[in-house]
Amino acid sequence: MNTFADIADSLAQQAIELPSWAFGNSGTRFKVFTTPGTPRTVEEKLADAAQVHRLTGLAPSVALHIPWDKVDDYDKLGRVAEDLGVRLGTINSNTFQDDDYKFGSLTHVDERIRAKAIAHQLECIDIMDVTGSRDLKIWLADGTNYPGQGDLRDRQDRLADSLAQVYTRLGQDQRLVLEYKFFEPAFYATDVPDWGTSLVHCLALGERATVCLDTGHHAPGTNIEFIVAQLLRLGRLGSFDFNSRFYADDDLIVGAADPFQLFRILYEVIRGGGYGEDSDVAFMLDQCHNVEDKIPGQIRSVLNVQEMTTRALLVDRAALREAERAGDVLGANGILMDAFYTDVRADLADWRVTRGLPADPMKAYAASGYQDHIAADRVGGTQAGWGA
């Protein structure tokens, strides 16, 4: 097995993008719990994200969600982010909170509504031109609840046409990243329900169309690391949305439900060339913090990804390959399990100290007084949340 010293330099290559919306109020369909100090503006979201990066060194960029994070001057917003020590990242579009999109957006049978949804995507690309963002990430709530409600084939044809119009507008250094989701809010037929559907559309669009894999968007029992391996093999894995699930799209802290699954995913990422400075695969969180404080929730999340990345890097791939070729079933499995069970927390704490970071970012945040400060300072106004 590799030692921590063998892989320490590789850890410096890790970057995990934070979602602006994770710092706002969010929750279940039944209740959204507000918390003192929740940001009221996108600038305050950036300030909170900067705290995560300052303490972990892992989160140099922040994804925006339009129109939740819409401002008049994106160049100015970029300078605000830079002054805080972070930068603006992925631009996420939103065609699921407007009454017009009740029966679909990019797949809608009404050409007026479909044109409106396309125009929104183009607006997001305009924003990318200003912010320097590489990726436009599209997640669609489009779908049907009942058999016969919509023509499944026609909806796919309309989706292909809509995406082609958006793709044509991309700059040469920009990408379209198409997310998929097994279900919700469309329960009978979601228009982009799985990685295969997303991949089919991306292949038709061109090389700058890639798939976003959200770790919570799969049927129970799905082998997610297999999907990772296949998309990397085809060069079409664009990004991750890391979160954790017990039942469905729970959007819990990544690694909370099944850390071994996270380890397996990250091993395939590393094995397939999806990690490091030469990789175009983007790591991002996509989580909701409903009962826990949001900033420490994000700190814990990026630390969980870092820890499982470290364990995955410890795997002796040469020895594993030899065992696989020899048909040594238990030996091969043992090589993976030895790396997974290795406790790297003390090594990571020492590594952080050598980089001028606190050994324990969670304790450092608790001791910083930042949470008390924002609770006292952010009084009045409207707290950010879903839809704002």
pLDDT (tens digit, 9 = 90+) per residue, 265-299?
999 999 999 999 899 999 999 999 988 999 999 99
* 9 residue type, one letter: D
Q: Does the residue 276 lie in any domain?
A: yes
Q: Does the residue 174 lie in any domain?
A: yes
Domain housing 203? 14-309
Which residues, at least 6 apart from 20, have a Cβ–Cβ distance to it below 8 Å?
42, 45, 46, 49, 62, 63, 64, 65, 68, 69
Q: Does the residue 156 lie in any domain?
A: yes
pLDDT in tens, 213-226: 999 999 999 999 99
CA 10: distance to chain centroid?
21
The pLDDT score that the predictor gives to residue 387 is: 63
Distance CA 270, CA 311 (A): 11
Q: What is the mean pLDDT of residues 330-357?
A: 98
Indicate the number of domains in the chain: 1
Q: Does the residue 363 lie in any domain?
A: no
pLDDT bin (cut points 50, 70, 90) of residue 160 is very high
- DSSP reduced 3-state for 60: coil
277: how many CB neighbours lie within 10 A of its CB?
8
Identify the CA nearest to 309 among candidates 352, 264, 360.
264
Q: Does the residue 303 lie in any domain?
A: yes
- 104 contacts 155 by C-beta, under 8 angstroms: yes
Q: Does the residue 252 lie in any domain?
A: yes
The pLDDT score that the predictor gives to residue 1 is: 87
pLDDT in tens, 35-58: 899 999 999 999 999 999 999 999
Q: At residue 108, does pLDDT exceed 90?
A: yes
The pLDDT score that the predictor gives to residue 388 is: 54
- The DSSP secondary-structure symbol of 244 reads B
Distance CA 256, CA 287 (A): 12
pTM, two decimals, is 0.96
Q: Does the residue 380 lie in any domain?
A: no
The pLDDT score that the predictor gives to residue 34 is: 85
- 374 contacts 48 by C-beta, under 8 angstroms: yes
Average per-residue pLDDT in the chain?
96
Q: Does the residue 23 lie in any domain?
A: yes
Q: At residue 29, does pLDDT exceed 80?
A: no
- Token pair for 243: 């979160």
CATH number at residue 292: 3.20.20.150
pLDDT bin (cut points 50, 70, 90) of residue 136 is very high
Q: At residue 31, does pLDDT exceed 90?
A: no
